[in-house]
Amino acid sequence: MAQDGDWQRDLLRELADGDADLAPGDASPPDARDAAPTAPATRSAPAPSAPVPVHRPARPVDVRAVPPESVPTIDPRLAIALGPPQHGDSVARRAGAGLRRLTSSAGQEVAERTGYARELQQPVTTGRVIAVTSIRGGVGKSTVTALLGRAFNHYRHDPVLTLEADAALGTLPVRMGAESARWSGADLARILTPSMQLADVTDYLVPVADGGWLLPAGRGRAGAMLDVPAYRAVTLALRRYFAVTAVDCETIPGAVARTAMDTCHARVIVAPMTAEGVDGTRQVLDWLSQLPHPALSTTVVVLSAASPDATLDARTATAHLREPGVPVVLLPYDRHLAQGGPIHTAMLGQETRTAAVRLAAEAIRRAVRVR
Ligand SMILES: Nc1ncnc2c1ncn2[C@@H]1O[C@H](COP(=O)(O)OP(=O)(O)OP(=O)(O)O)[C@@H](O)[C@H]1O
Ligand SMILES: [Mg+2]
């Protein structure tokens, strides 16, 4: 966290033509002062010549007195068009997997899963935040965040949160099976107080069917956007209540993504299974490896095959991404994930489930190392 310092600032200079400088304070670690809600700042990075934004105290708007309207995450007219969920694996594949379970390789698989499960269940002293981002949109960030949230929920007995820190109209609430959203991260930034108990806080969150909680970024166009001060206030406050928070970020170099990357305990970078996607992600990793502080040691890469037509050789791509010294988890193409809509763990392909568990284990292993 703290030692990650200015990596996003430098990243922007190197990767975004050097013109997207951070506002002072954006890249610094959170501290107790962050808990005080501040006025919304602009989401986009200011131009170098722009004046330094002044964060004035928020007006004392009591959002609890006038609760926001509950908004469906999908228009009900569309929701009925979703159709039944299809299984990630074909029938033939499932039959093959059943046969393999009877062979000797099954023992090794079980041992591996047991090892991951142990890691996933390890105690944490303070809440750990794992942020998911990518260098491009539409590559699977929300899907990966939802898989992480579900994996942690499955294995842990303490409260787990999935938090959407993407722009409005993100897909995390739908992927987590939320039918409607009322309270947003921006609302909670004004509501949370240190005296609140977990039960008070969860009144403002969406319970997830499989367990755990969800905090959406907004309510479509109806809600306030989650900006940097609100993100900081909310993540800092919620760490008291949730053992693990998986954050669905916008793409680098969005302002909230930069802050999330800088203040998290571990980061997951999703790379699409294309030559240019792998190449761009590798450039980010190379840059991270040159930083004086160990940002790479708390980074995990997901190589996501979001299309059945990917022709890139997965072994070569994995080796290329692994070279700087990060673990690479291959997330295979999964028919259930491709379908969109809520993710049902039972409908995921076997390899997808294994990838999700391994990813969660790799991420929490790194997240607990950070002070
Ligand atoms: N492993 C996978 N197999 C099949 N389809 C996938 C997989 N991962 C993601 N997808 C599909 O890819 C699309 C984009 O995924 P997702 O919404 O998670 O990306 P994103 O990076 O969050 O996008 P955005 O930048 O718009 O927020 C979705 O339609 C999803 O169903
Ligand atoms: Mg998304």
What's the confidence (pLDDT) of residue 170? 86
Q: Indicate if the pLDDT at residue 218 is higher than 80.
A: no
Going by alpha carbons, the residue nearest to atom 11 of ligand 1 is: 338
| Token pair of 76 as six digits | 């009900």
- The kind and range of the H/E element at 163 are strand 160-165
The rounded Å distance from CA 248 to ligand 2 centre is 7
Domain assignments of the chain as residue spans, ordered by start:
2-15+108-367
Lowest mean pLDDT among 45-59, 158-172, 252-266: 45-59
Closest ligand 1 atom number to CA of residue 145 = 18
Note the pLDDT of residue 48: 38
Determine the Cα–Cα distance for residues 371 and 29; give it in Å rounded to an integer: 12
Whether the per-residue pLDDT at 159 is higher than 70: the answer is yes
Q: Is the pLDDT of residue 217 over 80?
A: yes
Q: What is the pLDDT of residues 107-139, one digit of tens each?
A: 777 778 889 999 999 999 999 999 999 999 999
Amino acid identity at 234: V
State the pLDDT at residue 105.
Answer: 67
Distance of CA 108 to CAs 93, 115, 222, 348, Å?
Answer: 20, 11, 50, 21
Question: For all residues of the chain together, what is the average pLDDT?
Answer: 83
- Of ligand 1's atoms, which has the minimum distance to the CA of residue 339? 31
pLDDT of the residue at 32: 32
C-alpha to C-alpha distance for 82 and 84, rounded to whole angstroms: 7
Which atom of ligand 1 is closest in space to residue 137's alpha carbon? Answer: 25
pLDDT in tens, 24-65: 333 333 333 333 333 333 333 333 344 444 444 445 556 666
| 290: amino acid identity, one letter | Q
Ligand 1 surroundings by CB, under 6 angstroms: 134, 137-143, 166, 170-171, 304-306, 331, 333-334, 337-338, 340
Query: Are residues 129 and 231 in contact, defined by beta-carbon separation less than 8 angstroms?
Result: no
pLDDT digits (tens, 9 = 90+) for 99-114: 666 665 677 777 788 8
Looking at residues 250-276, what average pLDDT do you find? Answer: 93
Q: Whose CA is nearest to atom 31 of ligand 1?
A: 338
Longest dimension (CA), the chain: 67
Partners of 131 in beta bridges: 247, 267
Starting from the CA of residue 304, give the closest ligand.
1
Q: What are the C-alpha distances in Å from 356 to residues 63, 149, 176, 193, 328? A: 37, 10, 15, 34, 12
CATH topology of domain 2-15+108-367: Rossmann fold (3.40.50)
Q: What's the rounded mean pLDDT across residues 226-230? A: 92
Q: What pLDDT, on the 0 to 100 scale, is given for residue 103?
A: 66
Question: Residue 199 pLDDT > 60, yes or no?
Answer: yes
Is pLDDT of 212 > 60? yes
Which ligand is nearest the CA of 335, by number? 1
